[in-house]
Amino acid sequence: MTVQIYSSMRSENAWSLALRRLWRDPVGRISLGVVVFYLVLVGLVLMGWLGTHWNDPVAVNYAPPTWYATAANRVTLPAEEAWDRTQVIPLYGWTDPLEPIWSEARAAAQRIQPEPVSYRLTLPLGADKWGRDVGQKVLKGT
């Protein structure tokens, strides 16, 4: 009885067997595509190309989710009223050494006009308590 040894036969790698089985399965290919898409999304968020403005208020508080945008979905709110700093507290004869500086600062503050802020009424995934986009927060949370 003679024993022949075949040196040309190679055993297959476990990874190549697993990849071949994964590629034959259609559900496995779809799942692999989802995982690759998620990894690309994570890479884009880490590089700062997506989800960078997640903390900016862009909508009204608790804006409802909607999937279509119209011109009626935007509202322009008036600028906030500044605190009236012109009230003078009586100093009972004392002179304020900082009065020239404060009067100049008050005059400069009167010249500043805050810009009106435009907020959206609806967002695709809605807004949170502070008007931040939930979709941007989900991207940042990946």
Mean pLDDT, each 10-residue run in order, the chain (142 residues): 65 88 94 95 91 88 77 61 57 75 89 81 88 90 80
- Domain spans of the chain, in order of start: 13-50, 54-70+99-142
State residue 8's pLDDT score: 64
State residue 118's pLDDT score: 81
The DSSP symbol for 133 reads: B
99: number of CA atoms within 13 Å, CB side? Answer: 8
Count CB atoms within 10 A of the CB of residue 126: 15
Cβ-Cβ contacts under 8 Å for 67 (sequence gap 6 or more): 124
State residue 76's pLDDT score: 64
State residue 114's pLDDT score: 76
State residue 142's pLDDT score: 76
State residue 75's pLDDT score: 63
State residue 106's pLDDT score: 87
State residue 81's pLDDT score: 55
Cβ-Cβ contacts under 8 Å for 13 (sequence gap 6 or more): none
pTM of the model: 0.55
Q: Identify each DSSP E strand in 8-109 by its residue range.
A: 74-77
State residue 30's pLDDT score: 96
State residue 117's pLDDT score: 77
Measured CA to CA, the distance from residue 126 to residue 134 in angstroms comes to 6
